[in-house]
Amino acid sequence: MKIRVGFGFDVHQLVEGRELWLGGIRLEHEKGLLGHSDADVLIHAICDALLGAANMRDIGYHFPDTAGEFKNIDSKILLKKTVELIATKGYSVGNIDATICAERPKLKPHIPAIQQTLSEVMGVDEDDISIKATTTEKLGFTGREEGISAYATVLITKK
């Protein structure tokens, strides 16, 4: 069996007038993330990690923000397409370890729903998806609640 590891990172600005989507679920919050798609930073980081592990470039290459077909798209669709893309090279998802950096909203109560949603989209066991949440202790753009970032590390396998 061949294994490969990938790393992904994404950040989006928090703005009024947008819904907040993280890990494929909508969260109640006074601000949402600004982006061409639904701006789900967690899913975007996971997509980049999967594509990087398979040596297939990045999310912007496959789903450019200049393409009208991806305007306001649900990022779960992008994640499903990414899993299909890595499968064209014989890879499948082994496990994911991801961290979301946000001051608010508090994410701990939402982690099980995020894991379940991602599990369904990717067709992997919930136990293979680790989601963590942290703050930056009021430091930087995250601490000032100007944006949210996410990091993801993935393992992919080829039989």
Binding residues: 10-12, 36-37, 44, 58-60, 134-137, 141, 144
Binding residues for a divalent metal cation: 10, 12, 44
Query: Which residues on adjacent β-strands are paired with residue 129?
Result: 96
For residues 144 and 128, what is the distance between their CA atoms, to the nearest angstrom?
32
The DSSP secondary-structure symbol of 46 reads H
- Give residue 64's identity as a one-letter amino acid code: P
For residues 149 and 159, what is the distance between their CA atoms, to the nearest angstrom?
33
Look up residue 21 and give its two tokens.
């989507």
For residues 107 and 105, what is the distance between their CA atoms, to the nearest angstrom?
6
For residues 154 and 59, what is the distance between their CA atoms, to the nearest angstrom?
15
